[in-house]
Amino acid sequence: MDFELPEDLVLIRDAVKDYSESVLGPLAARHDRESELAPEVFAGLAELGLWGITIPEEYGGSGLPNLALCVALEELNRVCASTGVTVSVHNSLLGSPIMKYGSEQQMSTWLPRLASGECIGAYCLTEAGAGSDAAAVTTTARRDGDDWILNGTKIFVTNGGFAGLYVVYARTDPEAPKAKGISAFLVPRDTPGLSIGAHEKKTGIRGSSTTEILLEDARVSADLLLGPENGGFKIALETLDGGRIGIASQALGIGRACLEAAIRYAKEREQFGRPIGHFQAVGWKLADMSTRLDAARLLVYRAASLRDAGKPCTMQAAQAKLAASTTANFCADECLQIHGGAGYTDDFPVERFFRDARITEIYEGATDIQRLVIARNLLA
C-alpha cells in the first residue's frame, strides 16, 4: 500500500497550487465581495485543463482519474472555494454522467465543449419540495412526438447563471412509484422555455453562481434523454457519489486553509511574552486540526480510487464527505477562535473560510443524509 501520490498527480497538484496562489489568491476576496467569478478565471482554468480533467482525451479532455480531480479541487478550494465548487459541479455532476450514460452522439457533441470550458455544466435536481427527499421531484416531462416538453422549477443550481448545459431530472411517469418514474435530460442553455430565475444571496461561496432554473414548456429533442427513460433517479444517485467526493475535496481545501492560517497566526501573535502557539491550549487545537484533515484526506482518496476502479463507493463517498465536511467546519471554528477578535473581522480571510465551510455539510447531501447512507449500507 503506497500512501504517496503518483508523480503525474504531484505535478498536477503543484501546477494547480501555483495557479491558485498567484491568480486566485488576489481575486478570492473580490469574488466573495462581488458575488461572481472574475472572467479571466474561466480562461485560466481552461489553460490548466481543469474543465476536462476527467474527460477522455478523444473528446478533448485530459483523461485523468477522479483522484486527480480531488487533488486539484483541494488546491483550488484552499484559496477560493467559489472557484472550487464551480469546477467540482462541472466535472462531477455533468461531465461524469455524460461519460457514463451518454450516447455516442451526446458525448461527441458535448464533451469537447465541456472539456474546453466553452460550455459550463450545471446539475438540476433540487426543488422546493425535493431536497433530501430527492425522489419527490415534481418537474414533469411529457412526450410530444419526437420531443419532450419540460415544466417545473429547480432551485440551488450551482453554475446556473452562466451554464451552457444543464442535466435536468424530471418525472416522466406520474403513475410510477416516486423513484421509478424519473428521467434525466440534457438541456442546452438556449432551449426555448428555459430561463434563469432568482440569484441566491448566500452566506458563503458567494462568488459561485447559484440560481433558480425555470422550465416553461421547454422543448428538447428525444436524443437529449440521458440514459434510459424512467432510469434517471439511478443516474442522479450514482452521479452524487462522485459529487460527494468532489465536495469532500472542497472541504479538505477549506480546512487546510484554516490550518495554515492558524499556524501562521499562532507563530506571529504574542501574548504574555511569547507566541500563542507555544501555549498548550493553542498547540492542541493545531494538532487536532492536522490529524482530522489527514484522516479525512485518506477517506477521500480511498473513495476516489474505488470510483476510478469502477467499484461500488456509495458508502465510502458518504464517509469521505461526512468526515471532510465536519472536519472543515471544526477547523474553521478553531481557526477563528485562535485568531480571536481579529478573526471576526474581514482584515483576515478567516471569516470567509468560516462562512464557506458551512455549506459543505449541506449540499450534495446533508451530513444527516450521509449518516443515513452509511447506516443503511452497514445494516444491508
**214-228 b/e with 16+ CB inside 10 Å = b?**
bbeebebeeebbbbe
C-alpha 196: how far from its chain's center? Answer: 20
CA distance 263 to 372: 35
C-alpha 370: how far from its chain's center? Answer: 15
Q: For residue 2, give the DSSP letter.
A: -
Name the residue with cell 476576496: 29
- 364 catalytic residue (yes or no): yes
Q: Which of 74, 75, 334, 364 is catalytic?
A: 364
Q: DSSP readout, 187-233?
A: EETT-TTEEEEEEP--SS-TTS-EEEEEEEEEEEEGGGEESSTT-HH
CA distance 12 to 64: 10
CA distance 275 to 268: 6
For residue 262 the three cell numbers come to 492558524
Catalytic residue positions? 364
